[in-house]
Amino acid sequence: MVDKEDWIKVKGDHEPVKTIEEHQQIVARLAKNKLIPRKCRVGTLPLTGLLYCAKYGRRMQFKRRENENGTVWTTMCVYTYPDGTKCHQPGRKLDDTFYKALNYHIVKLNEETLAMVDETNEQQRELSELLSVKEKELVQTEQAMERLFELYEDGTITKQRFSERMAGHEKNKAAIEQEIEECRLTLSNMGNDVTVEIVQQRIDEFKELWQRASSPSEQNRAYRLLIEKIVYDREDNGLRLEVLYK
Ligand SMILES: [Zn+2]
């Protein structure tokens, strides 16, 4: 069950704006962090290498902070634009709620993918049938052209009649060939390497890996199984995460 933090990818849902105090804390932390080499601050985290800022496509950074409850990680974009201005993307705490909502989102989206794959398979089947019908038509047209040529050779039809009918066949043939080409192109663009079984298997594997993960780097491995990247955008006080699958 995901509680009301299920704001992910729901634009317009509101998260509290950071307070001035929070802002000052962030500024202080940033200043402090500058003194520590990057490698010492960040090891492999669940989202290492996967989280990108929506504004300029740069990788989000992870910052650690210790408080009374232990370690708190925050993600933020520290990119400076070519014109010298800093990226305005607000950061966010990477707490349990964040991961819970993200995982819920990932699994749910995959279930939507399942339905889509199913639909694509159906379209592919229909297109393949259409393709074989068109290929048969092409063979028939070519046969008709041969017969016409024989009739002309036999002297059964006049040259003029031959030319007229041949022109009709050629026009027909070109149209069929174009339809075949379009069918093939659409089929190859659809890509038949993803099946319902593969998607379902990936979801199950992800769930299992995540449950068994006992370290951030194992959690990272679970994400990498499914995800190419996650685009982070925290505009309008709502967080939007766009998940791009492998
Ligand atoms: Zn940014």
CB contact at 8 A, 80 and 56: no
66 assigned to some structural domain: yes
How many domains, the chain?
1
* Residue 136 included in any domain: no
How many angstroms is it from 20 CA to the middle of ligand 1?
A: 21
Let me know if residue 209 belongs to a domain.
yes
Residue whose structure tokens are 């995460």: 241
* 192 CA to centre of ligand 1 in angstroms: 36
40 lies in a domain?
no
* Beta sheet of 70-76, edge-to-edge order: 61-67, 70-76, 92-93
pLDDT digits (tens, 9 = 90+) for 148-206: 999 999 999 999 999 999 999 999 999 999 999 999 998 888 765 667 777 778 888 88
Strand 227-233 vs strand 51-53: parallel, antiparallel, or unpaired? parallel
Say how many Å lie between the CA of residue 108 and the centre of ligand 1.
27
Cα angle value 100/233/7 (rounded, 5°):
40
Residue 5 lies in a domain: no
| Percent of the chain residues past pLDDT 70, beyond the cut | 80
pLDDT of residue 244: 85
Q: How far is the CA of 59 from the centre of ligand 1 (A)?
A: 8
Cα–ligand 1 centroid distance for 37 (angstroms): 21
- 209, 225 contact by CB (below 8 A): yes
Residue 70 lies in a domain: yes
Q: Residue 78: inside a domain, yes or no?
A: yes
CA of 222 to the centre of ligand 1 (A): 25
Both tokens of 139, joined, read 């063979």
Q: Per the domain annotation, does 146 fall within a domain?
A: no
User: Which structural domain, as residue segments, surrounds residue 71?
Assistant: 50-94+202-246
Ligand 1 centroid – CA 107 distance (Å): 26
Beta bridge partners of 63: 74
How much is the pLDDT for 148? 95
For residue 119, the model assigns a pLDDT of 81
Q: pLDDT tens across 8-19, in order?
A: 443 334 444 455
Q: What is the reported pTM? A: 0.54
